[in-house]
Structure 1
Amino acid sequence: MKTKFFIPFLLLISSILLSQTSNINQENGVANYGYDVVSYFSGKPQHGSAKNAVKYQGTDYYFVNAENKAKFQKEPGKYLPQYGGYCAFAMGDYGKKVQVDPKTYKITDGKLYLFYNKLLTNTLTSWNKDEKNLVIKADKNWKKFTTK
């Protein structure tokens, strides 16, 4: 069976099973599964530490070191993942909040995008096939979540 067949099914199941009340993808109050959002921009995503935590808009963000923490505090918008850290492909294609694999990402035009990558489905592959249009659609869909 082709992976393309599994994408709609897996994204639907993910969206049903996961709590989607928050506009920030978080686990136990920590954004991005504890990964340092600044570290993505150096090309190597790394887990942060509670000792380098910053609370931003009610959510904790962990950082690898004080330097990354300071960079985030100075310019948080520069480092925040798009669409609250939910899957960029799912937001663009389905308008749904879907959990991600924090190690599956892409930086385009200085923006961090995260993607679902489990059970033989890597949505980054699908994103790359039509990124320009999916960004437009995802931006539009995300507004539905943030303008309530």
Structure 2
Amino acid sequence: MKKPILLLVIFFIGLASLVKAQEKAIFQTEDGAIKGYDAVAYFKDNKAVKGNKNFTYDWNGAKWYFSSKENMKAFKASPERYAPQYGGYCAFGYAQGHAAPTEPDVFTVVDGKLYLNYNQKVQQMWNKDIPGFITKADKNYKAEIEKNKGN
């Protein structure tokens, strides 16, 4: 019974977030993209590392924070390499057809790409078929981008 309720909650949060997703290409809070966490650290340290306000970079309509000047330079040189997939919205959510917010410490790096999830329970569902969910999320995200180009 808990799983259907959780999915309903995620769906309704996703609907509200979808409106925000259409307004902003990158999921961000007042703390910036990835809630102020360092996008490069996921790849270099394989963990979520809080960024430092001394190392910031504005990219794609969002403020990005980094834990070091070196990480900031790496991101500046290749932001698409380090930025999370689906604008930082929940990868599982996009596989289900909606945008949902994410938590910085609930992530997966697959084939050199960063995927964030809504929470640990959602990540457990995501882990059951990561390749299949990536295929679905890629398709849904691409469709959302195309739809928004017309607006």
Q: What is the TM-score of this pair, normalised by structure 1? A: 0.89
Q: Which amino acid aligns with 1:141?
A: N
Per-residue deviation at 1:12? 1.8
How big is the alpha-carbon RMSD for the aligned residues of Structure 1 and Structure 2? 1.6
Long gaps (5+) in structure 1: none
Tell me the distance in 2 between the aligned counterparts of 1:122 and 1:116. Answer: 8
Tell me the distance in 1 between the aligned counterparts of 2:41 and 2:7. Answer: 31
Per-residue deviation at 1:30? 1.5
**Which residue pairs with 1:84 in the alignment?**
87
In 1, are the aligned partners of 2:27 and 2:87 still within 8 Å (CA)?
yes
Per-residue deviation at 1:16? 3.8
Task: Please list every run of at least 4 consecutive aligned residues from structure 1 whose deviation after the TM superposition is greater than 4 angstroms.
Answer: none
**Which residue pairs with 2:143 in the alignment?**
144
- Residue 67 in structure 1 maps to residue 70 in structure 2: yes
Tell me the distance in 2 between the aligned counterparts of 1:68 and 1:12. Answer: 35
Q: Which amino acid aligns with 1:95?
A: G
Deviations 1:36-67 (A, max 9, x none): 10111111211112210001122110000101
In 1, are the aligned partners of 2:50 and 2:67 still within 8 Å (CA)?
yes
In 2, are the aligned partners of 1:63 and 1:69 still within 8 Å (CA)?
yes
Per-residue deviation at 1:135? 0.8
**Which residue pairs with 1:103 in the alignment?**
105
Long gaps (5+) in structure 2: none
Tell me the distance in 2 between the aligned counterparts of 1:32 and 1:125. Answer: 20
In 2, are the aligned partners of 1:115 and 1:122 still within 8 Å (CA)?
no
In 1, are the aligned partners of 2:15 and 2:99 still within 8 Å (CA)?
no
Length, aligned pairs only: 143
Task: Answer with 128-137 or 5-14: which moved more.
Answer: 5-14
Per-residue deviation at 1:29? 7.2
Q: Which amino acid aligns with 1:85?
A: G
Per-residue deviation at 1:17? 4.1
Q: 1:34 aligns with which of 13, 33, 36?
A: 36
